[in-house]
Amino acid sequence: MSEKEYPAHADQLPGVPPPEMQQKLFGHSDGQRQLLEAYQGGKLHHAWLIAGQKGIGKATFAFDIARKLFSLSGNETEQRVAEMVATGGHPNLKVIRRAFNHKTGKYAANTGVDVVRDAMRFFQTSAATKGLRICIVDSIDDLNANAANALLKTLEEPPANALFLLICNQLGKTLPTIRSRCRLLRLGVLMDQDVSAVVGQIAGPDAQAQLPSILEIARGRPRKALEAVMASSDPTLQALGNWLAQPNLSNDAQLMQLGASIAQSKDEAIWPMALEMLENAIAWRIKHLALTDKNNPALAKAMSVWEKTGEQLRDQAVYNLDKKQTIIMILDAICELDRVAPINFEPST
């Protein structure tokens, strides 16, 4: 992964250009076609709710659409539009994101009403240049109740020549009143070839040797693929991958040490990545056992471990239970499963 620094955003991966700086969109061609055809047919709805799994490139899609619509509706060249969007200097673009708190040194937990009101004032002023005026909300999930209501007021009485692109990771949590003012555009996961292209463009050729396991982890989500590339150089996750290859050969001390290193890592990205690796390992065993011998008692054991792991992870997240104890219980269950049905396993890192 590149060591280059990019402008920071709340949910940005280190060394990865933010969505506004990515000049090529991989996948999502159907969604792109819907929006562009609506514009070209004079039927562009004023607000679109762009929904789908986290990490599939919804923000990249939104900025790509913004660039195309600015070029079609304005008087600047595509290159000039791309330059202005990338630097945050396009006069007809407003982006709503979680703000950085200089007192705490952290990003705000949510997007407050002041941020939204400031963005809505943008539409009350005269346009600085010809063409559509676009507001990208990245993401609507981050808006607190007051901020969501402030946005709703504008969506109910939209300004002329304005377009709102609302990025949504959890559609069920979006206010029904906001959903009713928007046209829903669902984006799906990407094809493996598109995920591979994203990895190749950002991570470079060094990731090619690991591509099969990266794609297995990603499951159509480019962000998850890039997290896997980052994780592949982390010693804690390397140790977990090695352990998953032969869990039955470890002793209790090694298991405890591994669990502690995962739970106590100062890198916040390690915990979710480790959980993904563990769940993938269990799922791989279930798939292997189901394909080779559905009557194998180990299949029922693997299914039980899968369900129990899901319960433990949900409980840990909801009740803020001890991470070390949770991860050790899951490691121990995988170790026991390996004793019942040892399988040559390729670690997914």
Structural domain total, the chain:
2
pLDDT of res. 242 = 86
CATH number of the domain to which 158 belongs: 3.40.50.300
Q: How do residues 236-266 score in pLDDT, each as one tens digit?
A: 988 998 898 888 888 889 999 999 999 998 8
Q: How do residues 102-124 score in pLDDT, each as one tens digit?
A: 887 778 889 999 999 999 999 88
Query: Is residue 157 one of the residues assigned to a domain?
Result: yes
Which residue, among 243, 236, 242, 247, has the nearest Cα to 272 in the 3D structure? Answer: 236
Distance of CA 120 to the CA centre of its chain: 26
Average predicted confidence (pLDDT) for the chain: 89
Q: Which residues span the domain enclosing 248?
A: 234-340
DSSP state string for 8-68: --TTPPTTS--GGG-----S-HHHHHHHHHHHHTT---SEEEEE--TTSSHHHHHHHHHHH
* Tokens 């899901």 found at: 310
For residue 232 the two structure tokens come to: 């592949």
In this predicted model, which residue has the larger pLDDT, 251 or 267?
A: 251
Residues 56 and 178 in one domain: yes
Residues 181 and 288 in one domain: no
pLDDT band at residue 321 under the 50/70/90 scheme: very high
pLDDT of res. 47 = 98
Is residue 85 helix, strand or coil? helix
Choose one of 163, 186, 209: the last residue of a domain. Answer: 186
CB 58 within 8 A of CB 25: no
Residues 106 and 246 in one domain: no
Choose one of 154, 186, 218: the last residue of a domain. Answer: 186
Q: What is the average pLDDT across 157-181?
A: 95
- For the chain, give the number of residues: 349
Residues 148 and 265 in one domain: no
For residue 223 the two structure tokens come to: 């962000």
Sheet holding 93-96, edge to edge: 93-96, 133-138, 162-168, 47-51, 183-186
Query: Is residue 191 one of the residues assigned to a domain?
Result: no
Burial state string for 176-191 with b = 16 or more CB within 10 A and e = fewer than 16: eebbebbbebebebbe
CB 165 within 8 A of CB 65: yes
